[in-house]
Copies of this chain bind each other. A is one copy, B any other.
């Protein structure tokens, strides 16, 4: 900045990515994490860029907050448009790949991977050993347009127009308790009476989670004896006899220590399982192969997912 401001054309497009990352994060550290570089590198690169163009791009506020100036915002906006371009380019180049080799990033929720998906990925690996599968467990919805993942298993029908998905199955939920807690009796057939048991619930402000919202409505909060935002912890707690938990059937049914509080799944909690990819990728050989294998595997897993009892068969 102090150096003479020889306004010079943008001669390193990567600087734009840096500016975008800083603008998005509001901090050097966050930006550096995104770009997988060291803080200090981000610091020096930004400094060098500002020197070169002779314009301050971020105000350094106390507390390490980097706030974009007008010029910084303008630059970040350009970078964002460029990012959209390169994302599309990535997808298109990958979309032409007809080889059954390379990398495939799959994302799903923790529980789904635990009970259903891993077995099927093993099958897939057997059929296509040349493809390296990367399973990203993340309950956040990763951005397929940005290629944070190639394929996602989601509990919602995809809404974005440029995504392409297929419904794999319905997913049923119901209430479970340990056999000791429920005294080993047969599951009730009538409406669930939660008040009769201690209940395991979600953390207070768990918004956006279907089960959490349903419970807030149907379970008296005095009945709740334990709260956690982790569904796995709920499962473990239920097995330990702490209380009754509302779980997807594919988690609850395979646990020998657990039994259903009521026989039928709770229809209000029924969801759909979708497998989703970006439209640009759906003709890629390895994506198509994965869709095929999982599609077939899910047929076998459907009774588990829909909560059909073995005796129902």
Q: How many copies does the complex hold?
A: 2
Q: Which among B70, B78, B87, B102 is the interface contact of A86 at CB below 8 angstroms?
A: B78
The segment out of A3-11, A121-129, A292-300 that lies at the interface is: A3-11
B7 touches A17 (CB 8 A): no
A92 to B82, CA, bound (A): 16
Q: Determine whether A67 belongs to the interface, using a CB cutoff of 8 Å to chain B.
A: no
B9 touches A97 (CB 8 A): no
Q: Which among B10, B96, B103 is the interface contact of A90 at CB below 8 angstroms?
A: B10
Q: Determine whether A216 belongs to the interface, using a CB cutoff of 8 Å to chain B.
A: no
* Residues in A88-103 with C-beta less than 8 Å from chain B: 88-90, 92-94, 96-97, 99, 101-103
A82 to B12, CA, bound (A): 12
Q: Determine whether A200 belongs to the interface, using a CB cutoff of 8 Å to chain B.
A: no
A93 touches B55 (CB 8 A): yes
A203 to B163, CA, bound (A): 60
Q: Determine whether A271 belongs to the interface, using a CB cutoff of 8 Å to chain B.
A: no
A75: B residues at CB distance < 8 A: 89, 93
A102 touches B6 (CB 8 A): yes
A85 to B93, CA, bound (A): 22
**Given contact pairs A13-B86, A78-B89, A5 touches B53 in the complex (Cβ within 8 A):** no
- Residues of chain A touching chain B, judged by Cβ–Cβ distance below 8 Å, are 4-10, 12-14, 16-17, 53-55, 70-71, 74-75, 78, 81-82, 85-90, 92-94, 96-97, 99, 101-103, 132, 147
